[in-house]
Amino acid sequence: MAGVFSYESSEVDWCEDNYKHSEHVVEYFNTMSSFVFFIVSPIMLYLLHPYAKERSLAIHVVWIMMIFVGLFSAYFHMTLSFVGQMLDELSILWVLAVGYAVWFPRKLFPSFIKDRSTFSRLVLVVTVITTVSSFVKPTANAYALNCFGLHLLYTLAVEMRCCTDQKALRLAKLSVALWVLAISCWISDRFGCSFWQQLNFCYLHGIWHILIVMAVAYGSTLIAYLDANYEIPYSLPGLQYWPCQRDIDNKHTVQVRLELGHRAQLRKEHQKLPQTVCMGPPYKVEESGSAGFFVDIDVFLKNKGEPNTVRFKYDLFLNLEGDPPSTTCAMRSLPSTTPPETSGESWR
């Protein structure tokens, strides 16, 4: 039993020279590159939190488990033990399982599956069976896991066929490019080791770690965006660049809640500049319900000088309260008012 924990008890040995930099670490660069999981995972937990709060906190399980993928990957490459190999590969399997359970599109469910909870139970059963089967021939596990990647690419291609959002399309291309580059590094390190040894460059598996984390980060963001459009469209999902939003087309999203008969002014929720106030045009709600439409919003900016006006095109969705509810609402434009002095305080 102790043998499965011992150094180099795994049948898998990557191209990097063993014990080159430390007598306690078998594959030094492969081990160190695994720590990129500990950097990216907390960032993704933070960035996806607004979406997870609205959709399901189970979304966070994906990136929490990615931390364990990094931990087990580091342990495996440090020891090349059989236990390390199985922990590394099975943690990836369970990340994929959680991703399938929470994100797989409903329209692609098998015909006998009617809801996501039933689909999740099916995924759980398949994952448990696969986990047990993985001990039969451990050397084949990595290839099986990469086959899941091909199915994910197919699913993504199906989803993107009807997508017209240019940001989403760019993100899809970037995600696929990173995945292709990552898998190329993995295959080249596995089957072209002698060539890379001649060049004295045996670090492709470590580069795979870095590229695959980036591909998963971009890919999960895209999948979350597509999922939000299907599951929680009222939240008006949008793609933003982090840490800086590059405003390419000046199209912003705002969500407001009005009460029946009230006169309201539309305010910018995601402020890009300080001292930003959205004033007009106000609308009066004639009926309750909801409506989506495009509207030009005058944004009055005051920052170390006289106020000036910038006009943005907003994709607006009104959630309207009232009794009884209706699927439509009629609104009439009211005269715009002069923007008040902000006095150093931004409207929210």
72 CB-near residues (< 8 Å, 6+ apart)? 84, 87, 88, 91
By CB neighbour count within 10 A (0-12 exposed, 13-18 middle, 19+ buried), where does 159 fall? Answer: buried
CA geometry: angle 12, 15, 20, nearest 5 deg: 105
Asked if residue 209 belongs to a known ligand binding site, the reply is yes
Asked if residue 16 belongs to a known ligand binding site, the reply is yes
Provide φ and ψ at 224, rounded to 5°.
-60, -40
Q: Is the peptide bond before 335 cis (omega within 30 degrees of 0)?
A: no
Q: Is the dihedral of CA 172, 175, 178, 183 positive or negative?
A: negative
The secondary element (H helix, E strand) that includes residue 227 is helix 204-231
Q: Bridge-partner residues for 285, per DSSP?
A: 331
Asked if residue 60 belongs to a known ligand binding site, the reply is no
DSSP state string for 275-331: SEEEEE--EEE-S-SEEEEEEEEEEEE-SSSS-EEEEEEEEEEEEE--SS--S---E
Yes or no: say if 202 and 190 are a contact pair by the CB < 8 Å rule: no
d(CA 125, CA 103): 17
Strands lying side by side in the sheet with 251-258? 251-258, 308-320, 290-301, 276-280
Asked if residue 49 belongs to a known ligand binding site, the reply is no
Nearest to 167 by CA among 85, 248, 53, 104: 248
Asked if residue 77 belongs to a known ligand binding site, the reply is yes
Task: Retrieve residue 321's tokens.
Answer: 């309260």
Asked if residue 270 belongs to a known ligand binding site, the reply is no
Detail the residues annotated as belonging to a binding site for Ca(2+): 13-14, 16, 18, 27
Detail the residues annotated as belonging to a binding site for Zn(2+): 77, 205, 209
Detail the residues annotated as belonging to a binding site: 13-14, 16, 18, 27, 77, 205, 209
